[in-house]
Amino acid sequence: MNLILLDRDGVLNRVLVDPEHGTIDSPLHPDQVELYPWVPEALLRLNRLGYGLAIVSNQPSAAKKKTTLANLEAVHAKVLQLAEARGAKILSSHICYHRAEDGCACRKPKAGLLEEALKRHGADRAGSWMVGDGVTDVQAGAAAGVQTAYFGPKKCDSRKILDELGLEPRFWGQNLLEFTEFLSSKGTMTMANPSDSFSAKFLNESISIIQKLDVSAIEALAQGLAQVRERQGRLFILGVGGSAGHASHAVNDFRKICAIEAYAPTDNVSELTARTNDEGWDTTFSEWLKVSHLGPKDALLIFSVGGGNREKNVSVNLVKSVELAKQVGAGVYGIVGKDGGYTAQSANACVVIPPLYSDRITPHTEGLCAVVWHLLVSHPALAAKATKWESVERK
């Protein structure tokens, strides 16, 4: 499902404006609720386009002693009643009643409310939207990995703040009706039209995952591998299945571009199959590393979707290799998916590709593993030689 996550006040209903003090507030009593006239029809059209609808809203007025929680609940019930007057269906509401100073995980700009809604409805992040009239709505949407829509004039203080934060809403307009027309007539590479391509969906998912990568972990990995070269250690790159192909490619890059002595056990098919046949799969890598005299100057770099898990009997050969590395004092580094498994638990530095899309954990992990290692071999801390086409272009 693609989900439209709707901020409430200023998107569905009017806010309260105090002209004397210049303040803006949410309705504090149901008698103060005034829905924008175009909202019921816009919501119905969004339903017809195939979107699920959910409200995500900060409502701290009771905590601030401006009104009661009962009043806030009555206000929300009236907003829902009016919003669904034309037959639109709002699937759920996710309300944070805390103040900013309470330090909760749900209040926007944090993504707690959005995550709750996305998980409840099994929503596809790449095709879902956070729609609001505040900077915090855009921040929360970006943190949750969904597309964002902002309602307000482009020449405003919010524009400057969003620029400073490096955030750019996918849609910038005046109200929910404009947004609905945008989805209806212009297309947005979402599943509003299922033929709008799996390719766009997959690429949008990749963008969402990249935005959530831990940059500090990548930097730590780059510095750790640079130290392996400085101490004249060797880098052993381990991978199974598609990751074995990655390992072979990465060996080339780390040797040729970074001048690191690198090897992959899977490059020797004869030894790999002989050890599997005679000794069993679980020790294929660790026994190879023993013959290679893995030592404290050396390091492992592991590419894996799961990172190895002895309890689940998955990629135990990686687990045994990491255990050997720890015994001899060698470094352990990784680019892995899911929760990172034993590799992430044991590594000196490890990049975990966030598993945002449960149906495509493997392709995204393996695809972005290649992105991360190409980042590493291009990193100033590691790159020792220019690659071919870049050097040709400089001539």
Q: Which two tokens stand for residue 30?
A: 């149901």
Closest CA to 77 of 140, 35, 120, 16: 35
288 with 275: CB under 8 angstroms? yes
Task: Give the torsion through C-alpha atoms of 157, 161, 166, 167, to 10 deg.
Answer: -60
140 in the same domain as 127:
yes
Single residue among 160, 191, 211 that ends a domain in this structure: 211
Q: What is the pLDDT of residue 23?
A: 65
Burial (CB < 10 A; 0-12, 13-18, 19+), residue 222, is buried
Distance CA(210)–CA(62), nearest Å, equals 38
148 with 11: CB under 8 angstroms? no
Q: What is the pLDDT of residue 197?
A: 66
Q: What is the pLDDT of residue 359?
A: 83
- DSSP 3-state assignment of 198? helix
26 in the same domain as 100:
yes
Per-residue DSSP letter, 286? H
pLDDT tens per residue across all 395 residues of the chain: 899 999 999 999 999 886 665 568 899 999 999 999 999 999 999 999 999 999 999 999 999 999 999 999 999 999 999 999 999 999 999 999 999 999 999 999 999 999 999 999 999 999 999 999 999 999 999 999 999 999 987 667 888 898 889 898 999 999 999 999 999 875 444 444 443 467 877 888 898 899 899 999 999 999 999 999 999 999 999 999 999 999 999 999 999 999 999 999 999 999 999 999 999 999 999 999 999 999 999 999 999 999 999 999 999 999 999 999 999 999 999 999 999 999 999 999 999 999 988 889 999 999 999 999 999 999 999 999 887 776 665 55
Q: In 3-state terms, the chain is what percent helix, strand and coil (to 5)?
A: 50, 15, 35
154 in the same domain as 15:
yes
378 in the same domain as 349:
yes
Closest CA to 265 of 242, 240, 282: 240
Return phi, psi of residue 88, to 5°.
-65, 155
Q: What is the pTM of this model?
A: 0.55
Element (H, E) at 390: helix 388-394
Q: Which amino acid would we find at residue 189?
A: M
Single residue among 211, 228, 255 that ends a domain in this structure: 211
224 with 331: CB under 8 angstroms? yes
385 in the same domain as 246:
yes
Provide the CATH number for the domain around residue 176.
3.40.50.1000
112 in the same domain as 243:
no
CA dihedral for 63, 66, 67, 73, sign (positive or negative)? negative
66 in the same domain as 149:
yes
- Domain limits at 227? 215-393
Closest CA to 143 of 171, 176, 105: 105
Q: What is the pLDDT of residue 185?
A: 73
Provide the CATH number for the domain around residue 262.
3.40.50.10490
Buried b (16+ CB within 10 A) or exposed e, 243-263: bbebbebbbebbeebbebebb
Q: What is the pLDDT of residue 201?
A: 77
199 in the same domain as 58:
yes
177 in the same domain as 300:
no
238 in the same domain as 206:
no
38 with 175: CB under 8 angstroms? yes
Cite the active site residues.
7, 9
Q: What is the pLDDT of residue 157?
A: 81
Single residue among 211, 229, 245 that ends a domain in this structure: 211
Number of domains in the chain: 2
Q: What is the pLDDT of residue 193?
A: 43
Distance CA(25)–CA(33), nearest Å, equals 12
DSSP 165-183: HT---SEEESSHHHHHHII
User: In the chain, count of helices (H) and strands (E)?
Assistant: 15, 13
Buried b (16+ CB within 10 A) or exposed e, 310-344: eeeebbbbbbbbbebbeeeebbbbbbbbbebbbbb
Q: What is the pLDDT of residue 188?
A: 44
Element (H, E) at 373: helix 361-378
23 in the same domain as 50:
yes
Please give the distance of CA 272 from its chain centroid, rounded to a whole number: 36
142 in the same domain as 42:
yes
Please give the distance of CA 9 from its chain centroid, rounded to a whole number: 27
